[in-house]
Structure 1
Amino acid sequence: MSRRMNVTVLGAGSWGTTVASIASRNADTIIWARRAETADEINREQRNSQYLKDLTLHRHLRATADLEEALRDCDVLVMGVPSHSFRDTLQKVAPLVRPWVPVISLAKGLEQGTQRRMTEIIHEELPGHPAGLLAGPNIAKEVLQGMAAAAVMAMPDEKIACALQPLFSTAVFRVYTNTDVIGSELGGPLKNVIAISAGMAQGLGVGENTRAMVITRGLLEISRLGVAMGGRAETFSGLTGLGDLLTTCMSPLSRNRQVGEQFAAGKTTAEIVASMNMVAEGIKTSSVVMELAERHGVEMPIAHEVAAVVRGEYGALQAFRGLRKLTPGAEQESG
């Protein structure tokens, strides 16, 4: 790159803010926040206390609540908004962003109704813009604290991925590239559903053996559907597959695991959503995953039980009793 790039991050949640802080080490970076108070706090104190408590952001990061200002000099656009507001935000972006600017998604969700992946929405709303994603086993607070971590920059064009790679890399945050956009993108939303199941297992106190079973059988479900939708099998054993699944199922900081624990405590979906100030994508994604599984003829018994709990058909304990009724067959074939 012959000049310093201008990176724009839309969405000042925990991960969007963390990625913006990383990028500000390597490029001129501005983050757009819906709330002017959040933008002011980032500019004044280098903090986003609503999502990241007292953790300090990079001193060069700038923030604004003005979308036009955020996009004025944009060379690389990073979409850090949740899946349910992804399309609407892109529609607002369309008249403001220059042609051919690469657009990178951070969202680990699927659009309800259309079942679209986020990069598919980018292609629909911003045709002609290279679209990809940055994803991996990343707990925002740990990354911002400087703990070693890794992610994948997935783009169909490897040259573009390699050009963007340095913008989001540090000495302790390693970014790899992958041209399997479908596989890399599906790992995130699918593992969120399995993580709810792992959280239910944790909350019910069913033991580490059962949690290990849920995680490993969950990975098989993810891989089955991902391959059926066009992803490469090996992608699901990498950072955006197994890596992301392990982190989300095991970390007490994982929002989706926390959702599962609250289901185990007897709370309803409405009560859980009302108590959270951040989005747990697995709640909305569970129904979409089952629609995709039916469309592609893929059995996903764990995801099926999670979706039923989210819909309020029965509780976490009944879901695990339902899984016990399955007849085991060959490991790589059966539910």
Structure 2
Amino acid sequence: MSQRRILILGQGAMGRMFSGLLRHDHHVSHWDRDPDSGKESAVLEQLAPGHDCVIFAVPAHPHAELAGRIADCLKTPAICLSIAKGLDADGHSPAEIFAQHFPAGGLLRWGLVYGPMIARDLSEGRTGFALAASPERETAEAMAGLFATTRLYLQPDDDPVGAAWAAILKNVYVPLIGMADGLGLGDNLRGFLLAEALRELATIVEARGGQGRTAYSLAGLGDLITTATSASSHHRGIGEALARGDHSHVATDTANLRSEGVNTAVMVQRHGLLRLADYPLFELTVRLLSAPENIETAILDFVNRRFGRTLAA
């Protein structure tokens, strides 16, 4: 693909990683906003015009605001990508937000990039993998083309709704794996919890309007295993901290905003997005994130109920 003008919104670990990957073959610009002062590094409406691609390397919360500002100032065809794995304050996913602000047939096309692409690995020259999901196959293929000479391998896909829910809800399950490992409950239990999480995830993805098979893709299975087992995984680390009795990551609203997985659990309950009783492992995880007490007993009780047993494990 010829050189493109790419604007990256956000300069956290992921934003910097994308900049490092793309700057050798494309012209890369950056925009960021200080979370405390609100000061922006540049006027977005002046910076954005003329770019071929805008990467939203920011949490889900500001997506609607930023998408609205982008839609008003980009007057030439462009692709907007998101890597956010969370829900905004209204309980909307990046897929829902983008579909609203960038309607089909307009100048701005959109897609999502989800999969095992931990920033540290890619920044250090290792490989990464992700689903490039868009409503239009042509857009998904164009997304993959942007990274054709990098170590990030993108697989085009046409189920952005399923990819969004798989990637977002995966981050709710991962702390449970961290809790189990932090308590030393064993490799076998980890395998069971991962299989059970994936089974539920496929069912939820379908219930939310996606395709069940997407739960088994890079955006679901690939990202779930990577995040649940990586030593550098933030969401796994939350679970390990809870197992040690450290509740600081989930104790306040401010902390929730620092963790898209924990915040997703809150948003799912607040907006009634799922009937939790239909997804027992998800319900257990949400309960332990809000009231992390007697974790080992709660996990083993779940296992016994799952297999119809009443005796202690």
TM range (shorter): 0.7 to 0.9
TM-score, normalised with respect to structure 2: 0.85
Q: CA deviation at 1:126?
A: 4.0
Equivalent residue for 2:165, pick from 164, 168, 186:
186
Equivalent residue for 1:226, pick from 198, 202, 205:
205
| Equivalent runs, 1:7-18 vs 2, <5 Å | 7-18=6-17
Q: Could you say if the C-alpha distance between residues 268 and 167 of structure 1 is closer, same or farther in structure 2, counting changes exceeding 3 Å?
A: same
Matched, 1:280 2:259: yes
Cα root mean square deviation, aligned? 2.7
Q: Could you say if the C-alpha distance between residues 301 and 112 of structure 1 is closer, same or farther in structure 2, counting changes exceeding 3 Å?
A: farther
Match of 2:58 in 1: 81
**Is the 2:277–2:283 contact (alpha carbons within 8 Å) kept by the matching residues of 1?**
no
Q: CA deviation at 1:13?
A: 1.4
Match of 1:30 in 2: 29
TM-score, normalised with respect to structure 1: 0.80
* Larger deviation, residues 306-315 vs 202-211: 306-315
| Equivalent runs, 1:1-335 vs 2, <5 Å | 4-35=3-34, 64-98=41-75, 100-113=77-90, 115-127=91-103, 128=106, 129-269=108-248, 279-289=258-268, 291-294=272-275, 299-312=278-291, 314-328=293-307
> Residue type matched to 2:288 in 1?
V
Q: CA deviation at 1:208?
A: 0.8
**Is the 2:256–2:262 contact (alpha carbons within 8 Å) kept by the matching residues of 1?**
no
**Is the 1:204–1:317 contact (alpha carbons within 8 Å) kept by the matching residues of 2?**
yes
Q: Aligned with 2:156: secondary structure?
A: strand
Q: CA deviation at 1:107?
A: 0.3
Q: How many angstroms apart in 2 are the aligned matches of 1:219 and 1:259? A: 20
Gaps of 5+ in 1: 37-62, 330-335
Q: How many angstroms apart in 2 are the aligned matches of 1:274 and 1:230? A: 29
Q: CA deviation at 1:307?
A: 1.1
- Report percent identity of matched pairs: 28
> Residue type matched to 1:116 in 2?
H
What is the number of residues matched between the two proteins?
Answer: 299
> Residue type matched to 1:83 in 2?
A
Match of 1:59 in 2: none
Q: CA deviation at 1:237?
A: 1.6
Gaps of 5+ in 2: 309-313
Summarize deviations over 1:144-168 as a string: whole Å, max 9, x none: 1111221121111111221232212
Q: How many angstroms apart in 1 are the aligned matches of 2:246 and 2:100? A: 38
Q: Aligned with 1:102: secondary structure?
A: strand
Q: Could you say if the C-alpha distance between residues 23 and 116 of structure 1 is closer, same or farther in structure 2, counting changes exceeding 3 Å?
A: same
Q: Aligned with 1:130: secondary structure?
A: strand
Summarize deviations over 1:182-241 as a string: whole Å, max 9, x none: 122222111101111101111111111111111111111111101222222222222111
